[in-house]
Amino acid sequence: MNILILGYGKMGKIISDIAESRGHTIVEKINIENQHLLKDLDPERIDVAIEFSQPDAAFENLSWAISKQIPVVSGTTGWLDRKSEIERMTLSKGSTFFYASNFSIGVNIFFKVNRYLAKLMNEQSDYRVSIEEIHHTEKKDAPSGTAITLAEDIINKIDRIRRWDLVQQVTENEHNIPIVSKRIDPAPGTHVITYHSEIDDLEIKHTAHSRKGFALGAVLVAEWIKDKKGVLSMNDFLSF
């Protein structure tokens, strides 16, 4: 399979290495320094694009791939206020767009556990929920896309909770989820969800040991998505 890498930072390099180790060919590696090469690329040579760039570059990268009918897999966070535009463009062009805030198989199992736990906690009004996430200092957006996904899934399951807030330290609030974001090297990603009451605490946690799990998941999705159409997610890939 011929793969275009859009965003050749640390994640892009790991994705490229894993893709090549699995027998795929990297057509080009695009970053901010050589973005002009996009206009000369032949879309017929590209089976799928994998986009892990920066928040300010994601929309343009994705628009380019979708307009060229190139299936694109994206894991960039911090740009999601325009995600609905990309989804509409995908459907209007008859193209393919796959987005996940986290491609780790373990994290996506964690998402499912989080939704189930939140459903159980809907009737337990004595508990206050909070989220802490820890990433490396090069991560530009806060909270992480994974933390936002976790928070939104809780909001959808617990009737009394209305929104999440990015805070410096946890303060108890019945209707909001406080999210504390920490940037500590070399942490690739830790997410902790805590339900606190006067009687006890209930906590679930996921800790990534390296970026390889995220990168491998992105390559596996790229292999799966090649001949599919529409707006897709990890729920489709994992059949959750």
CATH for 220: 3.40.50.720
Average pLDDT, the chain: 94
Q: Are residues 117 and 147 in the same domain?
A: yes
Q: Which domain holds residue 32?
A: 2-103+212-238
Least confident of 65-74, 144-153, 165-174: 165-174
* Count of structural domains, the chain: 2
Residue 42: predicted pLDDT: 95
Q: Specify the pTM.
A: 0.79
- Give the residue from 59, 52, 65, 60 showing the smallest Cα distance to 93: 65
If asked whether residues 12 and 88 sit together in one domain, one would say: yes
Model pLDDT, residue 127: 96
Domain co-membership, 155 together with 219 = no
Whether residue 231 is found in the same domain as residue 190: no
Considering 29, 83, 93, 139, which one is annotated as catalytic?
Answer: 139
pLDDT tens digit string along 7-26?
999 899 999 999 999 999 99
Residues 125 and 64 in one domain: no
The angle that helices 145-157 and 105-121 make with each other, rounded to 10 degrees, is: 30
**Catalytic residue check, 36:** no
Token couple for 177: 């989820």
Tell me, yes or no, whether 186 and 234 share the same domain: no
Residues 147 and 166 grouped into a single domain? yes
Beta pairing partners, 49: 4, 72
Instruction: Pick the catalytic residue from 68, 135, 191, 206.
Output: 135
> What is the reported pLDDT for 20?
98
Q: Is 139 a known active-site residue? A: yes
Average pLDDT over residues 147-156: 96
Binned at pLDDT 50, 70 and 90, residue 141 comes out as: confident
Closest among 7, 70, 12, 43 to 219, alpha carbons compared: 12
| Shared-domain flag, residues 198 and 234 | no
Whether residue 80 sits in one domain with residue 129: no
The pLDDT value given to residue 232: 97
What letter would DSSP give residue 68? T
Residues 89 and 180 placed together within one structural domain of the fold: no
Question: Does the pLDDT at position 226 exceed 70?
Answer: yes
Number of Cβ within 10 Å of residue 39's Cβ equals 7
